[in-house]
Amino acid sequence: MSDTERTWVGPGARDRLRLLNDTRSVAVVGASDNPARASYFVTTYLLASTDYQVYLVNPRVTEILGQPVYPSLAELPEVPDIVDVFRRHDDLPTVLEETLAVGARSIWLQLGSWHEGVAHDGEAAGLDVVMDRCLKIEHARFHGGLHLAGFDTGVISSRRPQQF
């Protein structure tokens, strides 16, 4: 089976909401200090808009947004609830192995990231698995912060604005 053939079915909205509500810490694997990268934008949102303890993981950087960056999941000061992954497709099985080794509860593959083998192996090992979804967008959607995620959530009305 190839990874272009999508047979795995991820958790529904209620389960994703439960996962986010039960989360206290998130490790962003593949965190970047480049403001143009999705991981930078997600990290900015998580730090500013959630109560999560956010850990950044990248062996090539020591600080991002004033936060320390750890070279690996194994070097974090605590086990994260969610491992949010911004890595190349071919790196995903290794990230799954590291996630299992540290005892995290969940692996979350970002928007555009899909790996059938990682999903099946992760679930078989007892992990909550989310793929092809942005943690920031999902959190904002469930917690009323889509305007912070770059979406206009203003009221749509057919009425003309009142003139004063």
Please give the pLDDT value at position 143: 80
User: Which residues make Cβ contacts (< 8 Å) with residue 106, sequence separation at least 6?
Assistant: 19, 23, 81, 82, 83, 127, 128, 129, 130
What are the domain boundaries of the chain? 13-149
Q: pLDDT category, 145, cuts 50, 70, 90?
A: low
What sign has the CA pseudo-torsion 138, 141, 145, 147? positive
Please give the pLDDT value at position 4: 64
What sign has the CA pseudo-torsion 101, 79, 59, 90? positive
Residues 77-84: what's their mean pLDDT? 98
**Over 70: is that where the pLDDT of 1 sits?**
no
Q: Can you give the pTM of this predicted structure?
A: 0.86
Residues 103-111: what's their mean pLDDT? 97
Please give the pLDDT value at position 68: 98
Residues 54-76: what's their mean pLDDT? 97
pLDDT tens, 16-45? Answer: 999 999 999 999 999 999 999 999 999 999
Q: pLDDT category, 61, cuts 50, 70, 90?
A: very high
82-85 and 25-29: which strand pairing?
Answer: parallel
Fold exhibited by the domain 13-149:
Rossmann fold (3.40.50)
